[in-house]
């Protein structure tokens, strides 16, 4: 049995390696989004600065392992077998949960996930022990105070960070305006001194308090002289920043990179327990069990975990190295970072979240409040604010989503709030604070315009909801897994290990496929970033053509699949097609929204000339999709009810119509791929011929309906619907060809 437990501990460390990578990918948003979003430096330089902070924070941290050893449960009342099941359940749930969130591009809290996984697994084991006759109660088995403090921290951090982010950014913008370079002469030294001092305070209170060289004497000295240290730092950094400005160095970039380093170091030093705390606790438990020589895992109690953790330095250095490599190479880190940057961007872009009812109502209510405030605000004040908040004067680095002023506020304020919360013994989550500060500053900067507000509020609600989902899923998932292992024994442990490995492999393969599918977004971003309006139209035309080509190929395949399934009486294929067609409506809507955004970046003359044909082409695509759904819906209802199939005598005409429709789709694809718009008149003529042919078939079918067998009436009505919808589909395809030709015709 000992060999099984040893294998479990080894597997925990294998999962810890993956968890380090997944955790860094998730938490990278905490310290990367402001530097990347503001364009303070190249991505490579930002990664280098963050990597140094991560490595130093991890290598010099004592790991804060006590929370995993006795922060949630009371180990003296649990056996070695109980705890090994809990640790296994926590790691399996944690890896799967964080990887799912990373694939979705949603930032979540590693602290919350670990705490609630430990709480859920311990809760179930406690129930099992109490049901088995144990006289111990929940208060003797669980440490629920820690979990409650985390929940309190969630509510406080979400509300406080958003409010402070909004207020502080509003004041910063009043001081500097969007044209900040003209107002830096004397203000930048003071602003830089405040920011740098806040970052140092953050490092002392949050980032460095658990480092190995922080002895009790040093901590006591810092606590006694905090005021003097802060005052000295303020004077020193104010003079230094003013000097750097005089030498022509961009002080705002220095502040952003310094804040990035501080947050990265604090993240690694304080959150390392979320990734390796459980495996190290598992190793300590196994070592104590083997040393005891008791041999019975179910009776050996784990009092040893009440002692302080003594983490070997090489564990910390190794963890730091893995985190640095993961940070530099992980595409999932960039995916999660893209979510926060996209939601706080000053420019319209690919709004990855849709619209929700609550977001629409919030926007409508906000517009009403703003209108009332505008009415009661004196005109001179409104004019002064308008000058300060003139986004047309915004100074953005190349490709930046927002300016350096906002990037500095994001980092400094997040660090200050986390430091303040730590000093007040409130467990504020780094993820929650940094994300909500970024959302508050973007709101104050009026980055959420009427065209994007509803989508971005939906995104914020989705991310916040995801945090609470994390807690619930972590609690329930770990509880289910630990119950299965507790009753199933070693075979369930082995099966879970295999399933976890399979899940990780499939998840990463699926993510790579998604990344390859998203390569076309580079063209979309290029259109939004270019300042050459003529080039923007050429790029947009290429992008529109790619989207239309993908849709026509999808429509051709779907039509062939649906009509063949109807003829072959295949309900399963029709049901599959129904799901695919239903999902594709959102694909079309998303593509249309992105293309409309791009249309604003071309010259006004081209936009006016081409917009009508652009909208006609998109409307035709939506009409074709509607025709396909109407065909599939009626056919599925008929076939699924096991009614009579299509008579053989009608198959010949039906197959000919299907074949000619498929050929028209393929020829339309050739026009899109080759740009041979001179063939469009001939294709439109063939559309007319096919419509006439379908009309003749419909007239013949009417005769069959009058004189046919009443038993076949149902299938004939379905067949008639299919022909009529096909005719409408061909009409839409004919209009689409005309719109495509007009789009590709050189502008006047």
pLDDT of residue 154: 66
pLDDT at 748 over 50: no
**Secondary structure (H, E, C), 595-637:** HHHHHCCCCHHHHHHHHHHHHHHHHHHHHHHHHHHHHHHHHHH
Least confident of 304-308, 360-364, 407-411, 703-707: 703-707
Mean pLDDT of 722-735: 95
Dump pLDDT digits (tens) for 69-83: 667 778 888 888 888
Give 10's contacts (C-beta < 8 A, 6+ positions apart). none
Mean pLDDT of 462-466: 77
pLDDT of residue 633: 95
Mean pLDDT of 433-460: 78
CA dihedral 187, 188, 191, 195 (to 10 degrees): 180
pLDDT at 210 over 70: no
Asked if 270 and 47 touch (Cβ cutoff 8 Å), the reply is no
Q: CA separation (Å) from 711 to 241, 460, 642, 698?
A: 89, 56, 13, 19
- Percent of all residues in the chain with a pLDDT value above 70, rounded to a whole number: 84
- Percent of all residues in the chain with a pLDDT value above 90, rounded to a whole number: 21
Average model confidence (pLDDT) across the chain: 81
Per-residue pLDDT band for 7 (boundaries 50, 70, 90) equals confident
H/E stretch holding 568 reads none
- Highest-scoring range by mean pLDDT, 239-248, 336-345, 441-450: 239-248
Asked if 49 and 260 touch (Cβ cutoff 8 Å), the reply is yes
pLDDT at 517 over 60: no
Of 487, 455, 741, nearest in space to 589 by CA: 455
pLDDT at 335 over 60: no
Asked if 110 and 275 touch (Cβ cutoff 8 Å), the reply is yes
Burial class (CB in 10 A: 0-12, 13-18, 19+), 526: middle
* 3-class state of residue 304 by DSSP: helix
> What does residue 17 show for φ and ψ, rounded to 5 degrees?
-60, -45
Mean pLDDT of 708-733: 86
Mean pLDDT of 109-116: 78
pLDDT at 552 over 90: yes
pLDDT of residue 26: 65
Per-residue pLDDT band for 498 (boundaries 50, 70, 90) equals confident
What value does the CA radius of gyration of the chain take, rounded to a whole number of Å?
31
Q: Tokens 């703003």 — which residue?
A: 370
Dump pLDDT digits (tens) for 172-191: 888 888 888 777 777 888 88
Tell me the domain boundaries of the chain: 2-519, 530-744
pLDDT of residue 571: 92
**266 vs 499 pLDDT, higher one:** 499
Q: How far apart are CA 97 and CA 248, in angstroms?
A: 47
Q: Tokens 């079309």 — which residue?
A: 588
Helix axes 273-292, 2-38, angle to 10 degrees: 160
* 3-class state of residue 250 by DSSP: coil
Tokens, residue 335: 């995916």
Q: Which long-range contacts (CB under 8 A, 24 or more apart) does 357-366 make?
A: 358/461, 359/453, 359/454, 359/455, 359/457, 359/458, 359/461, 360/454, 362/457, 363/450, 363/453, 363/454, 363/457, 366/453
Report H helices in 377-520.
Answer: 379-388, 404-423, 430-444, 453-488, 490-517
- Residue 160 CB neighbour total at 10 angstroms: 20
Q: How far apart are CA 562 and CA 564, in angstroms?
A: 5
Mean pLDDT of 141-159: 73
pLDDT at 211 over 60: no
pLDDT of residue 63: 46
Asked if 84 and 301 touch (Cβ cutoff 8 Å), the reply is no
**Secondary structure (H, E, C), 499-520:** HHHHHHHHHHHHHHHHHHHHHH
Per-residue pLDDT band for 657 (boundaries 50, 70, 90) equals very high
Dump pLDDT digits (tens) for 612-648: 899 999 999 999 999 999 999 999 999 998 888 888 8
Per-residue pLDDT band for 575 (boundaries 50, 70, 90) equals very high
Which fold does the domain 530-744 belong to in CATH? Methane Monooxygenase Hydroxylase; Chain G, domain 1 (1.20.58)
Q: Which long-range contacts (CB under 8 A, 24 or more apart) does 687-696 make?
A: 687/730, 687/731, 687/733, 687/734, 687/737, 688/734, 690/657, 690/660, 690/661, 690/664, 690/730, 691/727, 691/730, 691/731, 693/656, 693/657, 693/660, 694/657, 694/723, 694/726, 694/727, 694/730, 695/727
Tokens, residue 723: 């022909």
The length of the chain in residues reads: 748
Report H helices in 518-570.
Answer: 521-529, 533-567
pLDDT at 604 over 80: yes
pLDDT at 85 over 60: yes
């Amino acid at each position: 049995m000992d060999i099984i437990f040893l294998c479990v501990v080894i597997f925990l460390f294998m999962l810890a390696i993956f968890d380090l990578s997944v955790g860094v990918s998730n938490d990278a948003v905490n310290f990367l989004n402001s530097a990347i979003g503001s364009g303070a430096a190249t991505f490579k330089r930002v990664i280098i600065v963050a990597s140094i902070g991560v490595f130093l924070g991890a290598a010099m941290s004592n790991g804060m392992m006590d929370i995993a050893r006795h922060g949630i449960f009371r180990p003296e009342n649990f056996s070695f077998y109980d705890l090994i099941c809990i640790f296994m359940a926590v790691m399996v749930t944690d890896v799967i949960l964080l990887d799912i969130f990373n694939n979705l591009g949603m930032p979540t809290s590693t602290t919350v996930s670990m705490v609630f996984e430990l709480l859920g697994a311990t809760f179930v084991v406690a129930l099992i022990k109490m049901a088995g006759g144990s006289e111990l109660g929940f208060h003797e088995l669980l440490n629920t105070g820690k979990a409650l403090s985390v929940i309190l921290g969630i509510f406080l951090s979400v509300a406080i960070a958003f409010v402070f982010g909004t207020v502080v950014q509003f004041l910063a913008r009043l001081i500097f305006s969007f044209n900040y370079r003209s107002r830096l002469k004397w203000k930048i030294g003071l602003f830089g001194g405040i920011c740098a001092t806040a970052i140092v305070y953050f490092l002392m209170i949050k980032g460095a308090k658990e480092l190995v060289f922080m002895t009790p004497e040093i901590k006591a000295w810092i606590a006694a002289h905090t005021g003097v240290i802060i005052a000295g730092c303020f004077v020193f950094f104010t003079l230094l920043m003013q000097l750097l400005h005089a030498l022509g160095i961009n002080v705002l970039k220095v502040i952003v990179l310094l804040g990035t380093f501080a947050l990265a170091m604090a993240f690694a030093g304080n959150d390392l327990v979320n990734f390796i705390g459980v495996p190290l606790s598992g190793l300590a438990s196994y070592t104590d069990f083997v040393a005891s020589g008791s041999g019975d895992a179910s009776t050996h109690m784990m009092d040893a975990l009440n002692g302080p953790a003594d983490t070997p330095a090489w564990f910390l250095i190794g963890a730091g190295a893995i985190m640095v490599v993961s940070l530099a190479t992980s595409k999932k880190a960039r995916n999660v970072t893209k979510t926060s940057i996209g939601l706080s961007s000053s420019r319209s872009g690919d709004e990855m979240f849709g619209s929700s009812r609550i977001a629409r109502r919030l926007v409508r209510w906000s517009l009403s409040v703003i209108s009332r405030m505008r009415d009661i605000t004196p005109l001179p004040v409104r004019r002064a604010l308008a000058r300060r908040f003139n986004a047309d004067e915004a100074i953005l680095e190349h490709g930046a989503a927002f300016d350096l002023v906002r990037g500095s506020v994001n980092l400094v304020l997040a660090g200050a709030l986390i430091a303040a919360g730590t000093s007040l013994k409130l467990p504020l989550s780094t993820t929650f604070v940094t994300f909500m500060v970024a959302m508050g500053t973007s709101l104050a900067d009026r980055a959420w315009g009427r065209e994007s507000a509803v989508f971005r509020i939906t995104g914020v609600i989705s991310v916040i909801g995801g945090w609470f989902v994390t807690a619930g899923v972590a609690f329930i998932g770990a509880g289910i897994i630990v119950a299965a292992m507790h009753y199933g024994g070693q075979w369930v442990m082995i099966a879970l290990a295999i399933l976890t490995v399979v899940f990780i492999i499939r998840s990463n393969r699926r993510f790579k496929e998604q990344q390859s599918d998203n390569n076309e977004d580079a063209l979309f971003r290029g259109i939004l970033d270019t300042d050459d309006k003529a080039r923007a139209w050429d790029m947009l035309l290429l992008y529109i053509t790619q989207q239309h080509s993908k849709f026509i190929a999808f429509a051709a395949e779907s039509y062939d699949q649906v009509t063949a399934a109807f003829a072959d009486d295949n309900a399963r294929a029709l049901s599959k097609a129904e799901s695919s067609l239903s999902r594709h409506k959102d694909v079309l809507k998303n593509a249309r929204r992105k293309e409309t955004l791009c249309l604003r970046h071309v010259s006004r003359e081209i936009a006016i000339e081409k917009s009508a044909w652009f909208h006609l082409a998109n409307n035709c695509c939506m009409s074709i999709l509607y025709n396909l759904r109407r065909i599939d819906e009626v056919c599925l209802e008929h076939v699924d009810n096991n009614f009579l199939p299509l008579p053989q005598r009608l198959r010949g005409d039906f197959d000919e119509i299907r074949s000619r429709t498929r050929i028209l789709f393929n020829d339309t694809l050739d026009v899109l791929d080759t740009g041979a718009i001179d063939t469009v008149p001939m294709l439109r003529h063939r559309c007319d011929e096919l419509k006439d042919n379908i009309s003749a078939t419909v007239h013949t079918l009417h005769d069959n309906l009058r004189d046919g067998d009443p038993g076949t009436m149902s299938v004939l009505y379905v067949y008639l619907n299919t022909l009529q919808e096909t005719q409408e589909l061909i009409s839409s395809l004919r209009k689409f060809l005309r719109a495509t030709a007009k789009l590709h015709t050189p502008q006047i």
